[in-house]
Amino acid sequence: MAKKMLADKTPQNEDNIKNNDDTFNEDEEPNFSDPEGFIDDITDEELLGDILKQKPSETDGVESVIVIDGVPQVEPERLEKLQSVISKVLGKFGTIVNQYYPKNENGYTKGYIFLEYNNPLNALAAAQSVNNYKIDKQHTFKVNLFTDFKKFEEIPDEWEPPKPQEFKAAADLHYYLLEPDAYDQFCVLCGNGPSVTVQVWQNSAPEPTLLEERSRWTETYVKWSPLGTYLATFHKLGVALWGGPQFLQQARFSQKGVECIDFSPGERYLVTYTPRTDLGSEQKRLVIWDILTGQEKRAFFADGSSVWPIFRWSHDDKYLARMGEDILSVYETPSFGLLDKKSIKIPGIRDFSWSPTDNVLAYWVPEDKDVPARVTLLEIPNRNEIRNKNLFNVADCKIYWQKSGDYLCVKVDRFAKRKEKTEQKYTGMSYNFEIFHMREKQIPVDSVEIKEPIHAFAWEPVGSKFAIIHGEIPSVNVSFYEVRYGHQPALLKKLEKKACNHLFWSPSGQFIVLAGLTTMAGALEFIDTNDFTIMNSTDHYQTSDVEWDPTGRYVVTAVSSWKTSVDNGYWIWTFQGRILKRVNLNQFNQLLWRPRPPTLLTPEQIKEIKKNLKKYSAQFESKDRMRLTRASKELIEKRCAAMKAFEEYRSKRIQEWNNQKKRRLELRNGIDTDELDSDSKNVEEEVIEFFVKEETFIIDEK
């Protein structure tokens, strides 16, 4: 202010300053008051900008308040019950610190209430999730944030039509399906930390083609969506989805520390999960998103003991289910509310699985005292139990659906017992495979018993065969069975003394790879299950992963640095076991084939194609020869271009040599050394002798 007084030196101000100087006394207190008539034109923002940022706004204190319309109007006697219902529905979104129920002169509630949460984020979550929630047949909640009323008040009285937005063509997310030779794509991840690199390749012939390569595209790993439309990458702040020919970002979902994701089968929804608990109490850990809009559909409480995936989807994205203690919760989309507003009580439920083609759930419960274990097939949404199977002496069960949903196999680990004179004693384990015929009347069940340890089980993806690895390590047996209508599963073939612990069926069926991963040094056997011909027996040392391409034409064996640090890389084989390419990569982590959607061909059309495959194979072989010829032609053209460049360079140098001849004659006193030969008189001959070799002969004295 003193600076301002000096700037405004009116005569009156000057006199005041002089008087102050004349009368100044050290013993008196200084006078900091403004002179009479002083005007300060310096704004508070200039002087106190940092402090004013913390100035309370008019909306402080109400961002955490929501207004709920459509609440039942009840008398005072029923108010406590209404408050209990409201707390149950809205209390799961956060702590409610205040609530207000307006009443009329008779004490009845007015049909709207105010709730205040301890955090604005909780209020926002409640407003988004509970809006349009039906509390009963006559009442539906309409929920708004209290701060939204100011926005509603500012709506103009006169409507103005929105301006049309400029059209932007969306990228073709399914372009890869139009590839004429049906070349599949695969993604390769290598490196760690800042040096991580992601590559997308097309498995073209005779050599794969690199389509995209980016460093630090992800921070942990990558994952394709089930139909191959999106490539998901992981980052500190969330998950991003990429697609189209240039792999542009199609969507992103903000959630810190995401480590696990799960797509719905139809790619409509995405589940994200972070197991970290150090991100704050307000951080959501389990969230379901709408992929097309990018909106959060619902957040759930995540139990740390849950096994991923926590939610399991029905084949058509209509339902998702979650298992809890003695309950099975089924939610329906797109509301993500509980089906029929209540969970299914199943005491002791251990595991469940959806049919891959029908809205049918299979679950099992263990024995409880005198009650046997039970496998149940449950229809959704009507919750009808269409089949039950009681089981005895059960230690554990595993559920395996056949890909087409025609069969269900439940592997039952049983306690084998021996009956003594006075009591029964358990002496070991036996294993049963209960086969449910889902398409037959009343769903009959067949059983296959094996008394040896089981190491692997796998259904043929297309067909009715299944394979089992059983026996004592290291020499095990592989048995192949076929399920037939109205008959017990038939044993087709038993391969003895095999070095394998995993089964990998071709996606198109018929062919299978028996693999000895990790502990079995990477032994591989390629088998045609039509006649059980062993097409090739080989190995890829320390193989950790085996991946079939979606068409069943190629298979990749890989050694990941996540499993071992030696000999990292991947090999590409044909379905017959012929090696095509070996790629060694330092810090190689992951290879994933890009999935394809289900075929649009009917089973009859597929059968007809297989029947006439020899007719088509001639066309394919001709195309392969042309492709190889094209590759040879490209090599020849490249060599011809190099030869032509050399000839042009040579002729240019010869012309330069001829142009310099006059100068050479001048430098050599007129002697033309270009034409000199051995007969010229100006040439001095010099004879040079050099040793070639030495030979020793023995001369006979006779």
Give the pLDDT score at 24: 41
Picking from 141-145, 616-620, 667-671, which range would have the lowest pLDDT averaged per residue? 616-620
Give the pLDDT score at 19: 43
The 10s digit of each residue's pLDDT in 629-661 is 766 667 778 888 899 999 999 999 999 998 988
In the predicted model, is pLDDT for residue 543 greater than 80?
A: yes
How many CA atoms, within 13 angstroms, populate the side-chain half-sphere of residue 230? 24
Whether the CB-CB separation of 105 and 73 falls below 8 Å is answered with: no
User: Which residue matches tokens 């693999």?
Assistant: 515
Rounded Cα distance between 636 and 332, Å, is 62
15 pLDDT band, cuts 50/70/90, is: very low
Rounded Cα distance between 537 and 560, Å, is 22
At 4, which amino acid appears? K
Alpha-carbon separation of residue 373 from 365, 366, 369, 390, 395 (angstroms)? 6, 4, 10, 6, 10
In the three-class reduction of DSSP (H, G, I as helix; E, B as strand; rest coil), residue 680 is classed as: coil
In the three-class reduction of DSSP (H, G, I as helix; E, B as strand; rest coil), residue 606 is classed as: helix
In the predicted model, is pLDDT for residue 106 greater than 90?
A: no
User: Which residue matches tokens 């017990």?
Assistant: 488
In whole numbers, what is the pLDDT of the chain averaged over residues? 85
Phi, psi of 645 (to 5 degrees): -65, -40
Helices (H), 23-111: 44-47, 49-52, 79-90
Give the alpha-carbon dihedral of 579, 509, 483, 496, to 10 degrees: 0
The 10s digit of each residue's pLDDT in 177-191 is 998 888 999 999 999
Residue 33 DSSP one-character state: P
Give the pLDDT score at 358: 95
Give the pLDDT score at 124: 86
Whether the CB-CB separation of 96 and 116 falls below 8 Å is answered with: yes
Sign of the alpha-carbon dihedral angle for 616, 620, 621, 625? positive
Residue 175 DSSP one-character state: G
Q: Which residues, including other chains, have CB under 8 Å from residue 118's CB and lie 6 or more apart?
A: 64, 94, 95, 96, 97
Tokens of 68: 């709920």
Q: What is the mean pLDDT of residues 99-128?
A: 89
Whether the CB-CB separation of 410 and 382 falls below 8 Å is answered with: no
The 10s digit of each residue's pLDDT in 590-615 is 999 999 999 888 888 888 888 888 78
Alpha-carbon separation of residue 518 from 521, 542, 668 (angstroms)? 6, 5, 78
Selection from 226, 194, 189 nearest residue 570 by Cα: 189
In the three-class reduction of DSSP (H, G, I as helix; E, B as strand; rest coil), residue 125 is classed as: helix
617 pLDDT band, cuts 50/70/90, is: confident
Tokens of 326: 């003695």
Rounded Cα distance between 446 and 433, Å, is 8
Selection from 444, 345, 445, 434 nearest residue 397 by Cα: 434
Rounded Cα distance between 584 and 558, Å, is 10
Rounded Cα distance between 255 and 285, Å, is 8
CA angle at 314 for the pair 312 and 318, rounded to the nearest 5°: 115
Give the pLDDT score at 22: 44
Picking from 51-65, 106-120, 637-651, which range would have the lowest pLDDT averaged per residue? 51-65
Tokens of 162: 């929105």
At 248, which amino acid appears? L
Q: What is the mean pLDDT of residues 141-149?
A: 88
Give the pLDDT score at 277: 76
Give the pLDDT score at 348: 93
In the predicted model, is pLDDT for residue 27 greater than 60?
A: no
The 10s digit of each residue's pLDDT in 565-590 is 888 999 999 999 999 999 999 999 99
| Greatest distance between any 2 Cα atoms in the chain | 153
364 beta partners = 351, 375
Selection from 691, 646, 555 nearest residue 186 by Cα: 555
Q: Output the DSSP codes for 411-427.
A: EEEEEEEEE-SS-EEEE
In the predicted model, is pLDDT for residue 275 greater than 80?
A: yes
Radius of gyration of the chain from its Cα atoms, rounded to whole angstroms: 40
How many CA atoms, within 13 angstroms, populate the side-chain half-sphere of residue 699? 1
Picking from 23-32, 457-466, 469-478, which range would have the lowest pLDDT averaged per residue? 23-32
Q: What is the mean pLDDT of residues 47-76?
A: 76
How many CA atoms, within 13 angstroms, populate the side-chain half-sphere of residue 492? 18
What is the architecture of the domain spanning 451-597?
7 Propeller (2.130)
Residue 597 DSSP one-character state: P
Residue 170 DSSP one-character state: P
Residue 673 DSSP one-character state: G
Alpha-carbon separation of residue 609 from 130, 171, 540, 616 (angstroms)? 53, 33, 34, 8
In the predicted model, is pLDDT for residue 445 greater than 90?
A: yes
CATH topology of domain 62-147: Alpha-Beta Plaits (3.30.70)
Selection from 501, 478, 504 nearest residue 491 by Cα: 478
How many CA atoms, within 13 angstroms, populate the side-chain half-sphere of residue 430? 14
The 10s digit of each residue's pLDDT in 476-507 is 999 999 998 878 899 999 999 998 999 999 99
User: Which residue matches tokens 């000057």?
Assistant: 14
The 10s digit of each residue's pLDDT in 394-444 is 999 999 999 999 999 999 999 876 544 444 444 578 899 999 999 999 999
Give the pLDDT score at 421: 43
Give the pLDDT score at 603: 82
Give the pairing of strands 502-505 and 588-593. unpaired
Give the pLDDT score at 304: 61
In the predicted model, is pLDDT for residue 528 greater than 90?
A: yes
Whether the CB-CB separation of 116 and 65 falls below 8 Å is answered with: yes
17 pLDDT band, cuts 50/70/90, is: very low
Helices (H), 483-571: none
Rounded Cα distance between 432 and 414, Å, is 8
In the predicted model, is pLDDT for residue 252 greater than 50?
A: yes
Q: Which residue has the higher pLDDT, 282 or 410?
A: 410
Residue 215 DSSP one-character state: E
Give the pLDDT score at 671: 80
The 10s digit of each residue's pLDDT in 340-393 is 889 999 999 999 999 999 999 999 999 988 899 999 999 999 999 999 999 999
The 10s digit of each residue's pLDDT in 196-207 is 999 999 998 888
Sign of the alpha-carbon dihedral angle for 39, 45, 49, 54? positive
